[in-house]
Amino acid sequence: MGFLHEVRMTFKYVHLIVELVKRDLKLKYRRSFLGYFWSLLNPLMMMTVMMIIFSYMFRFEIENYPLYLICGQTIFNFFNESTTRAMYAVLENSTLLKKVYVPKCVFPLSRVLSCFVSMALSLLAVVIVMLVTRVQLHWSMLLFFIPLIYLLLFASGVGMITSSLAVKFQDVLHLYNIVTMVWMYATPIFYPIEAVPENVARFIRLNPLYIIVNIFRELMLYGRIPPLGSWLLGAAMSVAMFLIGALVFDRLRKDFIYYI
């Protein structure tokens, strides 16, 4: 079956994606006393720890460091969690995939989406930090959802790649940790890009996650609307990654059945 057929079927199975997302969220919070509250508390606690470490150990000249941190951290954590969880999506549903036809991409996509919902809930933590640090409110902040949509597309693309590669090469499961760690250090989350020598910064500016984090910070932290170039670059990279992910997944999915 061709690529287009699979795309059509994926649209037909949107209700399944919804059910899978609901399940993920239910299970995530079910047996914990504070439930959804954790999505709020966790980023705040992480931010506090990092703030303490980085304001005493390394000093960066960054205005409103707590907000700077939590913006970067929210975005990177989502990326890390969603693509890692997506990586196991096909493997963990292997018995099912042998029995009944469903478009296979619903598994990685639903995991990325459920992480996205959790992330959206934890945005309240960002708002709290904004209020506590008395950031001036701007209309530009209402555009916050656009970089998040970029992020969703980008993470979905990467998630489709990790989930399909992991079926064929289990090494990916071990390797991906390292990849995300390097990626985290290559994304200015707790340091300013100015702290990096220019010949490295040149590459960091091409890091899609940095581009997304940067747009988000411009809106939320500095109350500025980034130049059109950043918007276009971010959009192009996210859409490209989504398409690459979909094509890689489509190429590999036909072999899943021989490996699971």
Partner 1 sequence: MENLIEVIGAGMRFIMEQERTDTLKEYLVKLVRRNLKYTGFTALKDVSFSVRRGDSVALIGQNGSGKSTMLKLIAGVMEPTSGSVRVRGSIAPLIELSAGFDVDLTGRENVFLNGALLGYKRPYMERIYDEIVDFAELHEFIDVPVRSYSSGMIARLGFSIATHVQSDILVVDEVLAVGDYNFQQKCYRRMEEMLDTGRTLLFVSHDAEQVKRLCRRAVWLDHGMLMRDGPSDQVCDAYLDWMQKREAQ
Among 34, 53, 96, 137, binds partner 1 (CB under 8 A): 96
Tokens describing residue 202: 């040149």
- How far is 211 from 150, CA to CA, in rounded Å? 10
Taken as a whole, the chain contains a residue count of 260
Query: Is the CB of 4 or the CB of 100 nearer to partner 1?
Result: 100
Query: Is 244:157 a contact under the CB 8 Å cutoff?
Result: yes
Taking the complex as a whole, how short is the minimal distance between the CB of residue 213 and partner 1, in angstroms? Answer: 30
Instruction: Please state the closest distance from residue 98 (CB atom) to partner 1, in A.
Output: 6
Nearer to partner 1, 171 or 194 (CB): 171
Quickly tell me which residue has 């990685």 as its tokens: 108
Would you say the C-alpha torsion 243, 244, 247, 250 has a positive or negative sign?
negative
CA 240 to chain centre: 16
Site string for partner 1, 4-43 (x = CB under 8 A): --------xx-xx-xxx--x--xx--x-------------
Closest residue by Cα to residue 117 from 30, 26, 12, 211: 26
Query: With CB under 8 A, what is the number of residues at the site for partner 1?
Result: 27
Rank residues 8 and 23 by Cβ distance to partner 1 and give the closer one: 23
Given 97, 158, 215, 246, the residue binding partner 1 (CB under 8 A): 97
Shortest distance (Å) from residue 21 CB to partner 1 = 11
Closest distance between partner 1 and the C-beta of residue 93, in Å?
Answer: 8
Is residue 72 exposed (0-12), middle (13-18) or buried (19+ Cβ within 10 Å)? buried
Q: Which of 57, 100, 178, 228 binds partner 1 (CB under 8 A)?
A: 100
Q: Which of residues 183-222 bind partner 1 (CB under 8 A)?
A: none
Asked whether the beta carbons of 109 and 17 are under 8 A apart, the reply is yes
Residues 235-254 that bind partner 1 (CB under 8 A): 254
Q: How far apart are CA 159 and CA 169, in angstroms?
A: 15
Q: Tell me how far, at minimum, the Cβ of 83 lies from partner 1, in Å.
A: 18
Alpha helices in 100-197 (DSSP H): 106-132, 145-168, 171-185
Distance, CA of 178 to chain centre:
16
Instruction: Choose, by CB under 8 A, the member of 56, 99, 199, 228 that binds partner 1.
Output: 99
Q: State which amino acid sits at residue 23.
A: R
Of 146-185, binders to partner 1 (CB under 8 A) are 169-172
* Site of interaction with partner 1 (CB under 8 A): 1, 12-13, 15-16, 18-20, 23, 26-27, 30, 95-102, 169-172, 254, 257-258
